[in-house]
Structure 1
Amino acid sequence: MPQDTPPLLGLGFTWQQLAVGQRFRSFGRTVTEHDLMGFVALTGMQEPLFVDATQAGALGARPVPGALTHALIEGLLLQGMCHGTGLALLETHIRPLAPVRVGDTIRAEVEVTAIRPTSTGGRAVVASAVRVLNQRDEPVMDYDVTRLLRGEDTP
């Protein structure tokens, strides 16, 4: 990069900027009716529990799919943690803990749990533990995620 080019805003971390045990938190995001309806339309999850507001099953009124909760949190994390530096999502293990409903505000706490540089390409496999909390600071989901991140000298 030429010396007179200012740094790019919003760039995520390279693997060298991370350390095992390092922790982060995301901004919050309120789940809306529009989020729920758009997600079920896009994915085909036309389950009455999700599309019929009069349904109140075992999870109570207006729950959202766990996959939507995961997708919203991943969007928040990508913006701050690996935007432009993430090369691949390699693995994720999701554990829903409590329902998320339309109107809930969710956020994440992240801890880097492992960093393993690859043998080629200046990249590393980075593992993190993610805890998703609602507006009452109640855990609603935990997941472990493994990503491939670029290094400082990797294009």
Structure 2
Amino acid sequence: MTHAELPRLGQGFYWQDLHEGQAFRTFSRTVTETDLVNFISVTGMVEAIFIEAGYDGGAIQGRPVPAALTYTLIEGFILQTMIQGTGLAMLELTQQIHGPVLVGDTIHATVTVTGIRPTSRHGRAVVDSRIEVFNQRGEQVMTYTARRLLAGR
């Protein structure tokens, strides 16, 4: 077998490998203070509730993290395990926040394929999915739908 013929570790799913109703569970990840500090530093989300521990004007007890950080951590799992090398574009995203995520919370998600529509170009397909994010207590903290363009074989 030549080098080019060897299977690639971490290769994502081609759309033909998926079917409507198929579901996956991501790994879990504990959100750390370092995650929060790095994220707000890079994005400029230096809102008082994120940069001041124990901020008096906040409505959330504890050390909340931006919902955008929660979303990107889950998307990192999806990218690394499901669409690495096959994801071509994020086409649409709709997000609902159900509850806060705090520093120290451990999050994971379920990903359910809700639709697959092959395109007329290059064997690609538009793949829809519903992503439900949970904390360590099993509380749903976020739901989002994603429409992505995936490569085909």
Aligned to 1:99, the other structure's residue is in SS state coil
Gaps of 5+ in 2: none
Q: CA deviation at 1:5?
A: 2.7
Q: C-alpha distance in 2, partners of 1:7/1:80?
A: 15
The structure-2 alpha-carbon separation of the partners of 1:3 and 1:36, relative to structure 1 and needing over 3 Å to count, comes to closer
Deviates more, 1:53-62 or 1:65-74: 53-62
CA-based RMSD of the aligned residues comes to: 1.5
Asked if the contact 1:94/1:142 (under 8 Å) is kept, the reply is yes
Paired residue for 2:27? Answer: 27
Aligned to 1:60, the other structure's residue is in SS state coil
Aligned to 1:50, the other structure's residue is in SS state helix
Gaps of 5+ in 1: none
Q: CA deviation at 1:20?
A: 0.3
Paired residue for 1:39? Answer: 39
1:15-39 Cα offsets, whole Å, 9 max, x none, are: 0000000000000011000110111
Q: C-alpha distance in 1, partners of 2:78/2:139?
A: 19
1:151 partner letter: G
Tell me, yes or no, if structure 1 residue 49 matches structure 2 residue 49. yes
Tell me, yes or no, if structure 1 residue 15 matches structure 2 residue 15. yes
1:26-70 Cα offsets, whole Å, 9 max, x none, are: 000110001101111111111110000121521212000000000
Q: Which runs of 4+ in 1 moved over 3 A?
A: 1-4
Q: C-alpha distance in 2, partners of 1:42/1:3?
A: 38
1:99 partner letter: P
Paired residue for 2:126? Answer: 125
Aligned to 2:49, the other structure's residue is in SS state helix
Paired residue for 1:73? Answer: 74
1:107 partner letter: H
Identity %: 56
Aligned length: 152
Asked if the contact 1:109/1:130 (under 8 Å) is kept, the reply is yes
TM-score normalized with structure 2 length: 0.95
Asked if the contact 1:87/1:147 (under 8 Å) is kept, the reply is yes
Paired residue for 1:89? Answer: 90
